[in-house]
Amino acid sequence: MRKFQIPKNPPTTNKSVRFPNDVIEQVEDAIRGTNCTFSNFVVEATRVALESLEEEGSDT
């Protein structure tokens, strides 16, 4: 699995998602002082999770 990196701003489509307040706070803490938006952080985390699932699927 590749290492998580805080991403830059790619072209996007708007999608509404609800997050628990504690998760929002943790993400905001992680990106504070960086050039990363909440959305970009979540997209990158989702990409890493999808790659992990793909790797797990190829092991079976």
In this prediction, residue 42 carries a pLDDT of 93
Q: In whole angstroms, what separates CA 48 from the centre of its chain?
A: 7
Per-residue confidence (pLDDT) for residue 60, from 0 to 100: 55
pLDDT of residue 52: 93
pLDDT at 59: 66
Q: What pLDDT was estimated at residue 57?
A: 86
Residue 22: burial class (beta carbons within 10 Å; 0-12, 13-18, 19+)? exposed
Q: DSSP per residue over 14-30, as a string?
A: -------HHHHHHHHHH
Q: Residue-wise pLDDT tens for the chain (60 aa)?
A: 778 887 776 777 888 999 999 999 999 999 999 999 998 899 899 999 999 999 888 765
From CA 59, how far away is CA 24, in angstroms rounded? Answer: 33
What does the alpha-carbon distance between residue 46 and residue 42 come to, in Å, rounded to a whole number?
6
